[in-house]
């Protein structure tokens, strides 16, 4: 499964598309969210969504640069850290975009915490799980 994910993510279009999907999902008006199925709306579901979206951002971009993992392990580790930081920054920026520019969406500092937690968990898992053992 990991090899399939890496092969898909190696193509630049996939990480770019995934990033665009994340941005789109967080920029759609709040009234559009009411059309989502009610069965999956449990307390705190939006925090889980944020955690998964921003964690997957790190995973997708890290897998895109997987080719550096063995040939340039220090560069690859730095890229994982950079993607983790970029994911957190993207989450913060999108919260402010929601606050000021997206109708019926609001700023929630807990969403930023969920974004950061997802990015940090994914970054840590990728960093140590895929790190070359040297």
Domain edges within the chain: 2-27+41-129
Q: What is the pLDDT of residue 40?
A: 58
Please indicate whether residue 30 or residue 53 has the higher confidence score (pLDDT). Answer: 53
Please indicate whether residue 40 or residue 72 has the higher confidence score (pLDDT). Answer: 72
Q: What is the pLDDT of residue 70?
A: 83
Chain CA centroid to CA 44, Å? 18
* 74/12 Cα distance (integer angstroms): 21
* 63/33 Cα distance (integer angstroms): 30
Please indicate whether residue 36 or residue 46 has the higher confidence score (pLDDT). Answer: 46
131: pLDDT strictly greater than 90: no
132: pLDDT strictly greater than 70: no
| Cβ 118 vs Cβ 51: under 8 Å | yes
Q: Average pLDDT in the 37-52 region?
A: 79
**Phi, psi for residue 74 in degrees, rounded to 5:** -65, -45
84: pLDDT strictly greater than 60: yes
Any idea what DSSP says for residue 107? Answer: -
125: pLDDT strictly greater than 60: yes
Reported pTM? 0.89
């Amino acid at each position: 499964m990991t090899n399939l994910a890496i092969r898909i993510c190696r193509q630049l279009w996939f990480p770019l598309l995934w990033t665009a999907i994340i941005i789109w999902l967080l920029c759609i008006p709040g009234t559009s969210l009411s059309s989502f199925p009610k069965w999956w709306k449990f307390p705190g579901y939006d925090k889980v969504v944020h955690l998964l979206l921003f964690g997957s951002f790190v995973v997708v971009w890290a897998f895109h640069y997987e080719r550096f993992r063995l040939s340039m392990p220090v560069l690859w580790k730095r890229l994982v850290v950079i993607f983790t930081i970029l994911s957190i920054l993207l989450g913060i920026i999108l919260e402010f975009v929601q606050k000021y520019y997206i109708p019926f969406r609001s700023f929630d500092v807990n969403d930023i915490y969920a974004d950061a937690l997802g990015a940090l968990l994914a970054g840590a898992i990728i960093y140590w799980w895929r790190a070359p053992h040297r």
